[in-house]
Structure 1
Amino acid sequence: MATWPRSDLYAQKSPRTFQQFEQRWRRRPMPENTAESTADREIRSLPFFAPEMIPHPSVSVPASAKNHLSGGAGVGRRVAGETSVANASGTMNFSEDSEAYWETITSLRGQAAELQSQELLLRPELDKEAREQLGRQHIKQVVLDNVKLQIRTMGQEGSWTEETQRSVERTLFDYMFGLGPFQKFVDDPTIENVTVIGCDEVWTEHVGGEMRRQTPIAPSDRVLVDDVQFLLNRKEEEARAFDQAHPDVDADLMEMVRLAGVTAPVTPRPTLVLRVHRFLNITLSEMVTKGNLTEAAAHFLRVLVDAKRSVVISGYAGDGKTTMLRALVNEFDPYEQVITLEIERELHLHHLENRIVSPISLQYRPAGESGGVGEYTMWDASRKALRLNSQRLIVGEVRGDEIGPMIRAMQTGAGSLSTTHAEDPEDCVEALVGLASQTYTEEYAKRQIARHIDFVVQLNRIEQPDGTKLRKLTHISEVLPHESTGVAVLDIFKLDEDNDDEDAHFIRLPQDGRMRRKLQRHGLNEELLRRDLP
């Protein structure tokens, strides 16, 4: 009987894996004659069975990679283009379109990630820079091990060139510390949104609204879904599943990219939208400089913040709601305790340079797979926030179940902020009433929204003379109780496109006398506002 050449290093670090492999090897069916079969010779030709070689315990060769390593497939680059890969039969050109290439990348990234995970269990104190440096070492290690395997299998001429090794190392680093195949889009400062419809239809939206078609992001839809799952798994305790059993996912990646994805059976092909947040630290003054609003409007917003008024920021997806919210928070007293409540972390207010007391971020957690244990609802977060000395309570994007905690936050009178999707202030209020009416009576919903939402700040992308689109503040509107409708909206600032307005201009002071006097006590400069009259 042929014997398994035991590697003490392999057995010591992976005893269970070794024992299972050895048992299967010993139990395999043997040919009737004593002569060694062709299949045995092929198996024993693998470097695992070379007695003089001690393989790294993490190195594994996917079945589909055997042909790749022997010249049947090749290795491409992370960026567009092709790279030369030498093999036993000569030099051939391959790109990342190869399934075998991605099988190899998937195997190597798993090995590097496992090494990194084991090391961090022993050294949890490492900071981000040290973790990345450690990751580079692990990446180089698994790539070098793979090259040694290639040399053993095919000889020196069949191994990866130094250029290919560097390309693979960059790809693996992007997976472990970046966004894998999406990292090149994040690195482009002109890209704001990435839309992926299957592996081969990729669109990027650039500053100004231009759409561009990109090259395929993966060789197959299966690889695309696997890539997304790998990125989601990196979130560790915040990991999300993305498969047929969990076909809908929302996640924050790298504190600057919001991922929304669906896959089969919800949609025929995996579909992703990645929103890149470029302005993690921004002020109202910077937004004035960028042309998003006038100085008069910025002054009015500063007064609202200082007076601790509750504001809802409204607009379509990508209109700049989150950016505006960050700019308003930058006007808070830096010593105030700010607490955020979100389904998925997106605000990341710790990036704001004016904060002295660090913000507290609370996030919804879905129930676990077994028995629904471990769920942490938005209501749970809302109740806890009140005990955490919250001086400013922010409920992120309001799309559904967040409406109750949003109303509760605004009832505290501490000057809450939220965002929601709507075309104009009237639609914003109606949408919020509709959401609240799913939990409360319509009368109660209208009464609470009229009493506790003070202003709506509306944003839209406005087409410019050169055809590009610029994010603009289009309304600042007062929310008031109304005898017949229950709630009404009155514009304070407005951009009228029918009059070819370039910016939202001041129209009138708030109608509510108590609100007007309160804003005056907090420094409202009426002369500055009147100079902004159209």
Structure 2
Amino acid sequence: MADTHQHPGVNGHQPAMRREDIAGLLTGHLTQQRAPETPPVPAAPPVPPAAVAPALTDPAAVPRLADLPGELPVDWEVIETLQAEVSKQLAARDPQRLMEEADRRALARSLVTTAVADWAAKYAQANVPLSATQEQAIATAVFNAMYRGGRLQSLLDEDGVEDVMVDGLRAHIEYLDRPRRTIDRVADSHEELIAWVNRMARLSGHGERGLTQSTPMVGFRMPDGSRVTASMLTTRPSVVIRKHRLRDTGLEELRVWGTVNPILQYFLRACVQARMNLLVVGDMGAGKTSLLRALGREIPADERLVTLESDRELYLDEPATSGKPGPVTYAFEARQSNGEIRGDKKAGEVTIADMFATALRYNATRVVVGEVRSTEIVPMLQAMSAGGSGSMCTMHVRRPHAIISRLVQLCTEAGMATEAAHHLIAASVDVVVYIAYDWDDVKHGGRKHRYVSHVYEVHDVVGEGGRPTITEIFGPAGPREPRAVFKNMPSFVGELENKSRFSDLEGAPSFQRSWLTDNPLGAWGGPLQRKGPSS
């Protein structure tokens, strides 16, 4: 293994501690000297580097900024050196990659532990020995660099993190229940950040995806399922990571989180079991994918399912942690271009629209599209209207009243006439669920709120102006209660009663329309808990 003693940041010299050295501790640089052993100091709140006294030279005594990425007793280059060495050893032990992934990772952990222990023994010959905790932190960082989010993993592991937005070397972290926080340095250079993006793309299994001058925009998923979008077209290289906090969610979990109430929970389950075609809509970040995933978990196990996604986020082909069996599922994922243009098409690109023809040949009983953004709207609606009952998808819509207009817009962009689009929508979509997203409470000490505010029935006839006729089944109770309450009985309620089964509800073998009118299960259980000025 390469001797890392000669690295400028990990040598045996002990220079006088300067204020900038203290600041270096907060961005992951090597501790240059160590104060005498002292009793443990209670954790202190975050302190700006300029306010830290030079006497604080023990890493344990420096106020920690919530486990910043790279807050280690060594430079990040040491982690990369160890990672490269372990990867080399792993390749020698399993050159053909024949091991099961779980076994390969277990072997990697063992090799990491040994490599770090060997390195730490050499390091201690000329420096203050590292503690067991520090060695473990280095080992974790090495493993994260190989299989997880590398230098950014500690941010992604924080409770409540929803988005990590990197602008050059600076990161902004968005949380569910507290204000945004900014980290001044999460990489040592723009080149390192770009290298991180490309390493994560390779780990995701997308060898064709990379951030280069020829492909200055890239999107992929991380090993933990987080969605990454990166670009070199911004002022500085930028990365946005959307973390899926609720990857294995069902409707029950969404009820606990406040996205649906008990009536909506069982109504939507009945819609899935009765094979209604469902469209989940809302603004960006509203939780559309989480709700679609939960609805997909309600599809009976004896069916055949195809999922089509630009980036894999539904994971309906994986067993649920609840142990509940699911349908036979084929998960298709789009492929990005390698940057070349051949004719009027990007070389190597396979879009969701391209995958539809193949997916339908799998004789699936349902098709689920992660998100409809463009021309794939037409094959999606055609699949719904031509026998794909029970199919589902999500779509970005800013306001509930704009749902039909947004559908028509996408259809006309795909080449359809407006009248034909109206008829196709009416023949395809049965139910539209709108999720609202309120985030203003965060700045007042509250949390973000995601909840179903509207549910519409789309009738299979066109009405005034040639537009599809819709009925509001659930809608807001009033200005101070924006969450959905029952408004009107759907025309398909008989199908819900005949085709749904609720074995987990004692004495209720199928959906009952009286649940909507009598509310025996309760509604939202109290007003929305707001902390903003409108509360």
TM over 0.5: yes
Q: Which amino acid aligns with 2:146?
A: M
Q: Which one of 290, 294, 298 corresponds to residue 261 of structure 2? A: 294
Alignment of 1:518 with 2:477, yes or no, is: no
Whether the aligned pair in 1 keeps the contact of 2:14 and 2:33 (CA below 8 Å) is: no
CA drift of 1:291 comes to 2.5
CA drift of 1:255 comes to 4.2
Instruction: Name the SS for the 1:432 alignment partner.
Output: helix
Instruction: Name the SS for the 1:347 alignment partner.
Output: coil
1:459 alignment partner in structure 2: 435
Instruction: Name the SS for the 1:423 alignment partner.
Output: coil
Whether the aligned pair in 2 keeps the contact of 1:242 and 1:248 (CA below 8 Å) is: yes
- Whole-Å Cα distance in 2 between the matches of residues 269 and 357 of structure 1? 45
1:417 alignment partner in structure 2: 392
Alignment of 1:210 with 2:169, yes or no, is: no
CA drift of 1:485 comes to 3.9
1:400 alignment partner in structure 2: 374
Alignment of 1:385 with 2:332, yes or no, is: no
Question: Cα deviation per residue 1:133-168 (whole Å; 9 max; x = unaligned)?
Answer: 2112333455467668879xxxx3159746655443
CA drift of 1:311 comes to 0.9
Instruction: Name the SS for the 2:31 alignment partner.
Output: strand
Q: Which amino acid aligns with 2:230?
A: G
Instruction: Name the SS for the 2:95 alignment partner.
Output: helix
1:271 alignment partner in structure 2: 238
- Whole-Å Cα distance in 2 between the matches of residues 82 and 197 of structure 1? 21
What runs of 5+ residues in structure 1 fail to find an aligned partner? 1-55
- Whole-Å Cα distance in 1 between the matches of residues 163 and 254 of structure 2? 20
2:289 alignment partner in structure 1: 322
Q: Which one of 142, 151, 159 corresponds to residue 181 of structure 1? A: 151
CA drift of 1:529 comes to 0.7
Moved more, 241-250 or 202-211: 202-211
Structure number with the higher helix fraction is: 1
CA drift of 1:298 comes to 2.0
What runs of 5+ residues in structure 2 fail to find an aligned partner? 16-20, 35-56, 60-67, 500-509, 524-535
Moved more, 301-310 or 141-150: 141-150
- Whole-Å Cα distance in 1 between the matches of residues 297 and 431 of structure 2? 18
TM-score normalised over the length of structure 1: 0.75
Moved more, 76-85 or 450-459: 76-85
1:28 alignment partner in structure 2: none
CA drift of 1:433 comes to 1.7
1:40 alignment partner in structure 2: none
Instruction: Name the SS for the 1:445 alignment partner.
Output: helix
| Bigger relative contact order, structure 1 or 2 (CA pairs below 8 A, ≥6 apart) | 2
CA drift of 1:341 comes to 0.4
2:190 alignment partner in structure 1: 221
- Whole-Å Cα distance in 1 between the matches of residues 97 and 213 of structure 2? 36
- Whole-Å Cα distance in 1 between the matches of residues 328 and 91 of structure 2? 28
Whether the aligned pair in 2 keeps the contact of 1:105 and 1:168 (CA below 8 Å) is: yes
- Whole-Å Cα distance in 1 between the matches of residues 121 and 282 of structure 2? 56
Q: Which amino acid aligns with 1:378?
A: I
Instruction: Name the SS for the 1:414 alignment partner.
Output: coil
Instruction: Name the SS for the 1:475 alignment partner.
Output: strand
Alignment of 1:495 with 2:476, yes or no, is: yes
Identical pairs, percent: 25
CA drift of 1:375 comes to 3.7
Whether the aligned pair in 1 keeps the contact of 2:307 and 2:332 (CA below 8 Å) is: yes
1:138 alignment partner in structure 2: 111
Instruction: Name the SS for the 2:126 alignment partner.
Output: helix
1:18 alignment partner in structure 2: none
Q: Which amino acid aligns with 2:486?
A: F
Check 1:168–1:503 CA distance in 2 against 1; reply closer, same or farther (3 A cut). same
- Whole-Å Cα distance in 2 between the matches of residues 122 and 75 of structure 1? 46
Q: Which one of 321, 327, 333 corresponds to residue 363 of structure 1? A: 333
1:333 alignment partner in structure 2: 300
- Whole-Å Cα distance in 2 between the matches of residues 466 and 501 of structure 1? 20
CA drift of 1:472 comes to 0.7
Instruction: Name the SS for the 1:205 alignment partner.
Output: strand
Q: Which one of 444, 455, 474 corresponds to residue 476 of structure 1? A: 455
Alignment of 1:428 with 2:395, yes or no, is: no
CA drift of 1:477 comes to 0.8
Whether the aligned pair in 1 keeps the contact of 2:435 and 2:452 (CA below 8 Å) is: yes
Q: Which amino acid aligns with 2:498?
A: R
Check 1:255–1:101 CA distance in 2 against 1; reply closer, same or farther (3 A cut). closer
Q: Please report the RMSD computed on the Cα atoms of aligned residues, expressed in angstroms.
A: 3.6
Whether the aligned pair in 2 keeps the contact of 1:314 and 1:421 (CA below 8 Å) is: yes
- Whole-Å Cα distance in 1 between the matches of residues 92 and 312 of structure 2? 27
Check 1:270–1:321 CA distance in 2 against 1; reply closer, same or farther (3 A cut). same
Question: Cα deviation per residue 1:54-94 (whole Å; 9 max; x = unaligned)?
Answer: xx4xx4889x946765759999999867653579xxxx889
CA drift of 1:321 comes to 1.0
Moved more, 206-215 or 268-277: 206-215
Instruction: Name the SS for the 1:473 alignment partner.
Output: strand
1:527 alignment partner in structure 2: 514
- Whole-Å Cα distance in 1 between the matches of residues 128 and 83 of structure 2? 19
